[in-house]
Amino acid sequence: MEIFTKYIDSPLKIIEISSTETHIISIMFKDAEKVASPQRKETKEIPQILDECIYQLNEYFEGKRKKFKLPLQQEGTDFQQTVWNKLLNIPFGQTISYLDLAKKLGDKNTIRAAASANGKNKLNIVIPCHRVIGSNGKMVGYGGDLWRKKWLLNHELNHSEKKWRLF
């Protein structure tokens, strides 16, 4: 299976997007120093799905897109897949706690496993793991750094019906 990669500049610095011919498999934040030119191996010819992902991400950053329509593929356990599917149901501009996520999975005792699965999400923004916060309402844990989580949440609030700032 051939993997195609493209890098885009965004308000959150560089984003690396990878896909197969038919599915988006990774959307990860990269710091500029970690993507130096010799290491930055982009695919010259990219599949249409990768172009579509870039288009939809740009719409998101412009405040024009609230939900993504992309074929996604991410390897993980059945439990992780279930968590990632639940994340897709968190509305744009809203948050839930890790405890609420565990309850939506049917067992509040799965809170740590749910948090772990949330942290293993490789399809940032599109699978909105940034919308999960601590039970006390504070921002906790985000693989893309907390400043990005704060930016994403405020961006969504600024482009939703609610116009107040979270953090």
pLDDT per residue as tens digits for the range 151-161: 999 999 999 87
- Mark whether 53 is an active-site residue: no
Give pLDDT, residue 156.
97
The CATH number of 78-158 is 1.10.10.10
Instruction: State the Cα–Cα distance between residues 133 and 111, nearest whole angstrom.
Output: 12
Within 10 angstroms of residue 39's Cβ, the number of other Cβ atoms is 8
Tell me which of 129, 132, 153, 157 is the catalytic residue.
Answer: 129
Instruction: State the Cα–Cα distance between residues 89 and 132, nearest whole angstrom.
Output: 12
Residue ranges of the chain with pLDDT lower than 70?
32-43, 162-167
Mean pLDDT computed over every residue of the chain: 91
Which pTM was predicted? 0.90
Residue-by-residue DSSP string for 149-165: HHHHHHHHHHTSS----
Q: Which two tokens stand for residue 155?
A: 């961006």
Domain ranges of the chain: 4-61, 78-158
